[in-house]
Amino acid sequence: MRIEASHSVLTVPPPLRRRWLFQAAAACLSAAGSRPGLAQAGAHALPQTADETWVDLVRQRAVPVRIRWPDDNLAVPPDGHPVVIFSHGLGGTLAAGDFWGRAWRRAGCVVLHLQHPGSDLTAVRSQARDFADQSGLRRAARPEQLLARFGDVAFVLDELARRKTAATGRWAKVRPQGVGLSGHSFGAHTTLGMAGQRYPRHPGISEPRLSAFIAFSPTLPAVGEAVTAFERITRPVLCVTGTRDDDVMGNGATPNRRIGVFDALPAGQKAQLVLDEADHMSFSGQTGTATEILPRHPVSRLLQSQHHALVAAITSDWWQAHLMDNRQALQRLVRPTGLAAGDRWRTG
């Protein structure tokens, strides 16, 4: 794993200082010389998947990043490959969204999986006995952690622009504007917050460099009027949930409240996929033991492969339609194929 440093100007409140992060950044700067983050990159081709740690010197915060590159045989759009960012749920790691990231890479996107210190697996282990400890999970999902996540996304967008300007390796062929943002659970909160959701004590972000969004397992605000909270979210948003997408933190996020996000969003460029019998971990984008951190419904586990294939296809079309202006993908989204009898697809 490489550690690269960048100085990025942010407007979000800085978190608590972490001495070891500053030391890591200082060591990196010492090794890289006067061009932080560039000296080690060189002109060598990057692997198809690479794990790095990007250090935001302003906030003294290290952000682990997993980068997935499109196949080399795919044509590069005139304005560069589009980028999609994935934000994990509470207690996640870089492995979150793995299935989605693989599909989106094949669709022609550069995919960046972020790991958020303070609300990742390490943080949850320090706050909760296990994933059944709802009070511990809520401690790891405090408002300051959501603000820190907003800062992580803004920092990564700044870093994309810096790398594009520096024309470092494959980054010269990446488009730093018109980026897609997605996330699962707490990552869906991150996604909608960056899209413009308002909060009782925070105005939200409405980041202009983001063009389209996918929220996996979103939920209506716990406090305040949802229509007012969401009224600024007018860019394309796809909400993905299931009929068994239950509450995992004791905050009332029932399947109906997750489904209700679509109706609360402004009319226009929005869509919703509701999968019959899909539960919360159906949308983490992972397989195997990683999906068993929460109690699961046997039928959800049985249908997981079918659900994954359908979500991967529809979300890939979503990015191609809204980040690449692909008319065929947009047409497929009018009436997606592969829906089971109890699945629901809505646009409006």
- pLDDT-derived band at 252 (thresholds 50, 70, 90) equals confident
Q: What does the pLDDT look like over 119-174, one tens digit per residue?
A: 998 888 877 666 666 666 667 678 899 999 999 999 999 999 999 999 988 999 99
- Cα gap 131→62, rounded to integer Å: 25
- Cα gap 188→216, rounded to integer Å: 6
Q: What does the pLDDT look like over 85-120, one tens digit per residue?
A: 999 999 899 999 999 999 999 999 999 999 999 999
212, 236 contact by CB (below 8 A): yes
- Cα gap 263→270, rounded to integer Å: 10
Q: What does the pLDDT look like over 161-212, one tens digit per residue?
A: 999 999 988 999 999 999 999 999 999 999 999 999 999 888 889 999 999 9
- Cα gap 100→319, rounded to integer Å: 12
Position 24 pLDDT exceeds 50: no
Q: What does the pLDDT look like over 29-45, one tens digit per residue?
A: 333 332 233 333 333 45
- Cα gap 151→275, rounded to integer Å: 32
- Cα gap 159→162, rounded to integer Å: 5
190, 184 contact by CB (below 8 A): no
Render 267-317 in DSSP notation, one character per residue.
SSSEEEEEEEEEEGGGGSS--GGGGGSS---HHHHHTHHHHHHHHHHHHHH
Position 291 pLDDT exceeds 70: yes
Distances (CA, A) of 10 to 64, 115, 288: 18, 18, 38
Angle at 89 between CA 84 and CA 91, to 5 degrees: 130
Position 12 pLDDT exceeds 50: no
- The whole-number pLDDT of residue 250 equals 67
Please state the rounded mean pLDDT for residues 279-307.
91
Position 76 pLDDT exceeds 70: yes
Beta bridge partners of 224: none
- The whole-number pLDDT of residue 151 equals 97
- Cα gap 82→325, rounded to integer Å: 11
- The whole-number pLDDT of residue 15 equals 36
| Residue showing tokens 């996929």 | 273
- Cα gap 242→276, rounded to integer Å: 6
Distances (CA, A) of 316 to 42, 84, 130: 31, 11, 33
Position 213 pLDDT exceeds 70: yes
- The whole-number pLDDT of residue 8 equals 39
- The whole-number pLDDT of residue 104 equals 98
- Cα gap 187→173, rounded to integer Å: 27
- pLDDT-derived band at 72 (thresholds 50, 70, 90) equals confident
- pLDDT-derived band at 5 (thresholds 50, 70, 90) equals very low
Higher pLDDT, 213 or 30: 213
- The whole-number pLDDT of residue 133 equals 64
pTM: 0.85
- Cα gap 190→196, rounded to integer Å: 10
141, 119 contact by CB (below 8 A): yes
- Cα gap 302→325, rounded to integer Å: 35
CA torsion sign for 283, 115, 64, 55 is positive
Render 91-140 in DSSP notation, one character per residue.
TB-TTTTHHHHHHHHHTT-EEEEE--TTSBHHHHHHH-SSTT-HHHHHHH
